[in-house]
Structure 1
């Protein structure tokens, strides 16, 4: 990568970061006004100067079809899991069982890893308790698992979520990784903690 390309990529990442902070500021206040946008820009500049924020590597690739697929499937997963967890709460025969599972992801992108963790945590019944950035491993607490088959099924759900995200906004390298045959068979490498 040439120095000029690196500067453009860094500038693009900073602009996206600043825009995200301004949007977050407007969401906190609940409305988009000139005053909120101006103060959001000023606050975002102060935050980015005073605090170290790591650069976000953006792939520059967005596939609208896979973005829609990701969000539709996320909504279905949330609805299905909500019903399942609600049933566990009222089922008098339920005996609590849970596990913390190490799930190695294919992606090396912090952004995809973070979005995957957020998507998993939004679905009732599971929450990410730790992330190993260097190894791209998520540690997830999941309820209602009793057998190795339950563990494998949950891992495969996480891998499918990661794949949908990568197909939507991932880099060409990440797309290549999730399309490899070992993508769905690698679940044997992750253990429980």
Structure 2
């Protein structure tokens, strides 16, 4: 396995060379009203149902009802902290995200199948650290979920404070493949943010690394 983490990490075992997030200034926690709380729970329930159906790999009324029951139970017995969705749903960008995800899913499945069927070939793997440009919990979770659903890539760890995903990639032949894998992760993040991110998060996609550190 090829470890792409930069050498010379500190005592904490974290790799050097990964931009660290500047600590966010103390700010009052926004109050979430009852209507906003119910909306957030409805959105969370919808995502839980989608994740449930993806895990089963079958879109049916039975799975839909089971997903609703499981989702309600999760939200009832394991309540999430109040997090307000401040993004904006853009139907066109959401359609582009969905179409691109399906295309990458098919392409990656064919590639992994070809690697598995190649007699005598031993693919090399690598672990890469990918700092995201938008460090919100929602963006981290969605980007990590989408990356893990694509065959050949798997999220191993998430540094929530720094907004870094540690991704295992399959069939790495050289530095160009590592750079391409990083760009693929960042492209997924860009499509997600453009589909449901806030205007400020969309602008943050084009900031330089130094500027991003000044915009926690």
TM-score where L is the length of structure 1: 0.75
Which deviations, in whole Å up to 9, do the C-alpha atoms of 1:65-107 show, x marking residues without a partner? 1111001111111111111111111222522200111111111
Q: Which residue of 2 is the match for residue 144 of structure 1?
A: 171
Which deviations, in whole Å up to 9, do the C-alpha atoms of 1:41-83 show, x marking residues without a partner? 9x82x65454341233312411101111001111111111111
* CA separation of 1:150 and 1:26: change in aligned 2, threshold 3 A: closer
* CA separation of 1:3 and 1:125: change in aligned 2, threshold 3 A: closer
Aligned mate of 2:37, from 10, 13, 16 = 10
Q: Which residue of 2 is the match for residue 88 of structure 1?
A: 115
**Is contact 1:57-1:109 (8 Å) kept?**
no
**Is contact 2:126-2:168 (8 Å) kept?**
yes
How many Å separate the matches in 1 of 2:49 and 2:111? Answer: 37
- Superposition map of 1:1-193 within 5 A: 6-7=32-33, 8-18=35-45, 31=61, 40=69, 44=72, 47-181=74-208
How many Å separate the matches in 1 of 2:107 and 2:142? Answer: 20
Q: Which residue of 2 is the match for residue 190 of structure 1?
A: none
Which protein is richer in helix relative to its size?
Answer: 1
Count residues in correspondence: 178
Q: Which runs of 5+ in 1 are unaligned?
A: 187-193
Measured on the aligned residues, the alpha-carbon RMSD in Å equals: 3.4
* CA separation of 1:79 and 1:2: change in aligned 2, threshold 3 A: same
TM-score where L is the length of structure 2: 0.68
Q: Which residue of 1 is the match for residue 12 of structure 2?
A: none
**Is contact 1:26-1:40 (8 Å) kept?**
no
